[in-house]
Amino acid sequence: MSLLLQTPRAVCRRLLRPGAASPLQDRVVLVTGASSGIGAATARLVAAHGATTLLVARRAETIAALADELVAAGGRAAAYPCDLTDGDAVDALVARVLADHGSVDYLVNNAGRSIRRSLAASHDRFHDFERTMAINYFGPVRLTMGLLPAMREQRFGHVVNIVSWGVQLKAPRFAAYLASKSALDTWARVAARETWDDNVTFTNMRFGLVHTPMVETTVEHYRRWPSLTADQAAARVLRALEDRPVSFNVAAGRAGDVLNLVTPRLADFVMHRLDRSGS
C-alpha cells in the first residue's frame, strides 16, 4: 500500500523502524469468533506475531484444538468458550480473562452472523432482527464495556470491529444484518471520542465478500464479485491491529458512502434495480 494511504503511526513505524518487532509482540489479543473463518485465520496470524492469543467462540473443542495448535507452533494461546449472546456468560468471560491476564490490549470483535432475507419474507420472523442485534451488537458492546476500564487504566487499548461494506452500501435483503453492524460501527465511532485521552482506539473494518463458512449458502449468488480469502482478510485485520486506523474500507463501500450522501434517492433506485435484476 502507498505510504500516503497509511496512518501517520504506520508511516513512522515502517520508515523509522522497518525491522522492528510487531507491536503485538507480548501483548494480549482477544479474538471472538475464533473457531472459524476470519477469526481463526486472525488468531493464527496474531499468535505468529508474538501475541498471547485468547480465543472465544461457542465451539469449545474447536477453539481448544486451535489453542493447542498455536502453542505447539511456539505461541501462547488459551481458549475461552462463550456464547456472546448470553449477557451473564459475557460478564463471566470478562471476569475470567481479567483474572488470568490483568487486561486485554487488543480486542477483535469478529463473531457474528449474517441473514439475507427480504422484508417481505420477514413479517413473521421478528427474531431475525433480535438475533442479529444479539450477536452483532449487544455481544461485542457488552464485551468491550467489560474490558474497557482496564484498557483505560493502563492507557492503552485497541478494538477492531469486523463490520461490513454493507453499512455503506445499505444493500437490500440485509436490513437485519446491516442495521446491527451499523449500530456497532456507530457505537465505536462515539466511543473513540470518549476514550481519546486514554489512548484507547477503535477500527471499523468494513469488509466486502470473504470466502468463509458464513457465505457458503450465498456464494453462488455472489460468484462474480471480488472477494478475499479468510487468510487475506486476516492479514488486513493484522494491519489494522498494528496501525490502528479509524476504518478499513473497500472501494465499492466508499462509493456507496458518496452516493448515499450526494444523491440518496438515486442510490435507492440503483440498489433496488440491482436487487431486482438478481445482481
Ligand X SMILES: NC(=O)c1ccc[n+]([C@@H]2O[C@H](COP(=O)([O-])OP(=O)(O)OC[C@H]3O[C@@H](n4cnc5c(N)ncnc54)[C@H](OP(=O)(O)O)[C@@H]3O)[C@@H](O)[C@H]2O)c1
Q: Distance (Å, rounded) from C-alpha 134 to C-alpha 138?
A: 5
Of the pair 224, 265, the CB lying nearest ligand X is at 224
Q: Distance (Å, rounded) from C-alpha 9 to C-alpha 158?
A: 14
Of the pair 26, 275, the CB lying nearest ligand X is at 275
Minimum separation from the CB atom of position 157 to ligand X (A):
20
On whether the CB atoms of residues 47 and 76 are closer than 8 A, the answer is yes
On whether the CB atoms of residues 214 and 170 are closer than 8 A, the answer is no
Per CB under 6 A, 46 contacts ligand X: no
Q: Which stretch binds ligand X (CB under 6 A): 29-37, 94-102, 185-193, 261-269?
A: 29-37
Q: Distance (Å, rounded) from C-alpha 226 to C-alpha 249?
A: 14
Out of 31, 66, 84, 175, the only residue in the binding site for ligand X (CB under 6 A) is 84
Distances (CA, A) of 196 to 8, 37, 89, 111: 16, 32, 29, 26
Out of 52, 85, 132, 144, the only residue in the binding site for ligand X (CB under 6 A) is 85
Per CB under 6 A, 77 contacts ligand X: no
Minimum separation from the CB atom of position 88 to ligand X (A):
13
Q: Distance (Å, rounded) from C-alpha 233 to C-alpha 210?
A: 7
- 33-50: burial string, b at 16+ Cβ within 10 Å, e else: bbbbbbbbbbbbbbbbbb
Point out which residues pair with 202 in neighbouring strands.
159
Of the pair 144, 212, the CB lying nearest ligand X is at 212
Per CB under 6 A, 57 contacts ligand X: yes
Out of 214, 219, 235, 252, the only residue in the binding site for ligand X (CB under 6 A) is 214
Out of 24, 28, 31, 33, the only residue in the binding site for ligand X (CB under 6 A) is 33
Minimum separation from the CB atom of position 254 to ligand X (A):
15
Long-range contact set of residues 229-236: C-beta below 8 Å, sequence gap at least 24: 230/37, 230/38, 230/40, 230/41, 231/41, 233/38, 233/41, 233/42, 233/207, 234/38, 234/41, 234/42, 234/44, 234/45, 235/45, 236/205, 236/207
Respond yes or no: is residue 177 known to be catalytic: yes
Site size toward ligand X (CB under 6 A) is 29
Out of 37, 50, 253, 256, the only residue in the binding site for ligand X (CB under 6 A) is 37
Q: Which stretch binds ligand X (CB under 6 A): 78-86, 149-157, 168-176, 249-257?
A: 78-86
Of the pair 102, 226, the CB lying nearest ligand X is at 226
What is the number of alpha carbons within 13 Å of residue 54 lying toward its C-beta?
Answer: 24
Q: Could you tell me the three cell numbers for 99?
A: 483474572
Per CB under 6 A, 248 contacts ligand X: no
Q: Which of residues 113-152 bind ligand X (CB under 6 A)?
A: 113-114, 135
Q: Which of the residues are catalytic?
A: 177
Residues that bind ligand X (CB under 6 A): 32-33, 35-39, 57-59, 82-85, 110-114, 135, 162, 164, 207, 209-210, 212-215
